[in-house]
A = this chain, B = another copy of it.
Amino acid sequence: MRVSEQRQWDRLMQMARLGAIQGEGVNRAALSDLDHQARRLLLSWALPLGLAPSVDALGNLFLRHEGTDPGLPAVLAGSHMDSQPKGGRFDGIWGVLAALEAVQAIREAGLATRRAIEIVAWTNEEGGRFAPGCMGSMAFSGFRPPGSWDEVKDRDGLRFGAELARLLAAEADIPRRPLGFTPYAYVEPHIEQGPLLEAEGLDIGIVTGIQGSRWFLVEIAGKTDHAGTAPLALRQDAVQDMVRAIAALNALTADPQDVLRFTVGRVEVFPNSSNTVADLARFSIDLRHPDAAVLTARGDAVVATIQGAMARCRATVTETFNALPARFAPLVQEAIAAAAQAEGLQARPMPSGAFHDAQFLVPVCPTGMIFIPSRAGISHHPAEYSSPAQTARGAQVLARVLLDLAGRA
């Protein structure tokens, strides 16, 4: 049983054309027309193999390789197909294509599996268009009710609920399945998005868990004024209080060990005119730490820190996402380690700095992830790169893991 390096690479490059941006990047937002096209392209490869497609109420797309004992819980493997606005060609999409490549290799080798294997493409992992990310896996796992995000709007004012309905209408030809089930195990292949594997010359990361994440959206309301006439002492300048808030958050999140991750990645100001004092500033907070106690303590202080920083405006802080650190199952970690060894590949256990859909599967079933190297650790950027050989090694390990897990009683 061998995966095809060339076939998988060709598929990656075909997918990369859907939303291609300058510098070999990809901008393929969740539920966009490009996302629809990517799903159709995936189906164009999966259906001729005999895989059975289905879609659930969140738009999560499944492709089923049947087992010899269809009554047993299936093994689930996959990732997501949406990208960051200025993202790369591998984050997410490689995990879906690796699962397809692994299943195809198993079928081409004429190997029957006891359990079914289902390939999954989760809806909106990135959260770049509709925040937060991981909506598909959160709804699948029961972490949030499926209608939770219907009113979330993108920057054009389009609602998540309406865009999801548009997708489901366009995919009315695909059988609908109930939301959620209990897989035998879940395995997510993904690029590392960090520099460790490359730096140590390794092929495979056996992921031990994921640090926790808390996201906040902050709105600071002031008052517009004429930039030439209003004395500074009388202003309610939303930009100035935003600057004060970010400086205070920098102090709150300071970490000499540089383990805590604090990011303000999104900033919007209104009316956004150079000679008008802004009456509204909006910014995002992304806070992450592998230790639940640290994440809870610092995260719980965010609101008071921002309120304390307000000089003249009013701040509203909404927590949009809260995922505590997750630990992956020994069952899956051991299967990955055994597969890498059998393939003669160099592997090591490692934590994940990024969050992933896998995080939300942890309470549902034994869950794990396979990492492959990211060149220079670059991700969420057009320069994101993993080589044809690296992606093939990852798919080969996955194929062995799936064969192993799907063969168990």
Interface residues of A in 255-304 (CB under 8 A from B): 255, 258, 260-279, 281, 284-286, 288
Q: Secondary structure at chain A's binding surface: helix, strand, loop or mixed?
A: loop
| Total chain A interface residues with beta-carbon distance under 8 A | 67
Q: In the complex the two chains form, is B278's CB within 8 Å of A274's CB? A: no
Is the C-beta of A178 less than 8 angstroms from some C-beta in chain B?
Answer: no
Q: In the complex the two chains form, is A226's CB within 8 Å of B273's CB? A: no
Closest to A379 in B: B226
Chain B residues, Cβ within 8 Å of A127: 273-275
A66 CA to B275 CA in the complex, in Å? Answer: 37
Chain B residues, Cβ within 8 Å of A229: 193-194, 261, 353-354, 377, 379
Cross-chain contact of A243 among B84, B246, B262 (Cβ < 8 A): B246
Q: In the complex the two chains form, is A84's CB within 8 Å of B273's CB? A: yes
Is the C-beta of A211 less than 8 angstroms from some C-beta in chain B?
Answer: yes
A227 CA to B260 CA in the complex, in Å? Answer: 10
Is the C-beta of A85 less than 8 angstroms from some C-beta in chain B?
Answer: yes
Q: In the complex the two chains form, is A265's CB within 8 Å of B258's CB? A: no
Q: In the complex the two chains form, is A381's CB within 8 Å of B247's CB? A: no
Is the C-beta of A355 less than 8 angstroms from some C-beta in chain B?
Answer: yes
Chain B residues, Cβ within 8 Å of A262: 232
Q: In the complex the two chains form, is B228's CB within 8 Å of A213's CB? A: yes
Is the C-beta of A307 less than 8 angstroms from some C-beta in chain B?
Answer: no
Interface residues of A in 195-233 (CB under 8 A from B): 211, 213, 215, 223-233
Closest to A196 in B: B229
Q: In the complex the two chains form, is A272's CB within 8 Å of B266's CB? A: yes
For A86, A228, A278, the residue with the greatest tally of chain B CB atoms inside 10 Å of its CB is A228
Q: A27-69, CB under 8 A of B: which get 1 and which 0?
A: 0000000000000000000000000000000000000000000
Closest to A249 in B: B243
Q: In the complex the two chains form, is B261's CB within 8 Å of A228's CB? A: yes
Is the C-beta of A131 less than 8 angstroms from some C-beta in chain B?
Answer: yes
Knowing A246-B239, A247-B243, A263-B277, say if A228 contacts B272 (CB, 8 Å).
no
Is the C-beta of A128 less than 8 angstroms from some C-beta in chain B?
Answer: yes
A211 CA to B226 CA in the complex, in Å? Answer: 14
Shortest CB–CB separation between residue A305 and chain B, in angstroms?
15
Cross-chain contact of A266 among B223, B237, B269 (Cβ < 8 A): B269
Q: In the complex the two chains form, is A286's CB within 8 Å of B274's CB? A: yes
Supply 18 A–B pairs (Cβ within 8 Å), ascending by A. Answer: A85-B271, A86-B271, A126-B273, A126-B275, A127-B273, A193-B228, A225-B378, A227-B263, A228-B286, A229-B379, A230-B261, A232-B255, A243-B250, A265-B274, A267-B269, A267-B281, A274-B285, A274-B286
**Contacts beyond the supplied A86-B276, A131-B274: 6 A-B pairs with Cβ under 8 Å:** A126-B273, A229-B354, A239-B264, A266-B272, A267-B272, A275-B286
10 closest A-B pairs by CB = A229-B353, A274-B284, A227-B263, A86-B271, A228-B354, A267-B269, A194-B229, A85-B271, A227-B286, A128-B273
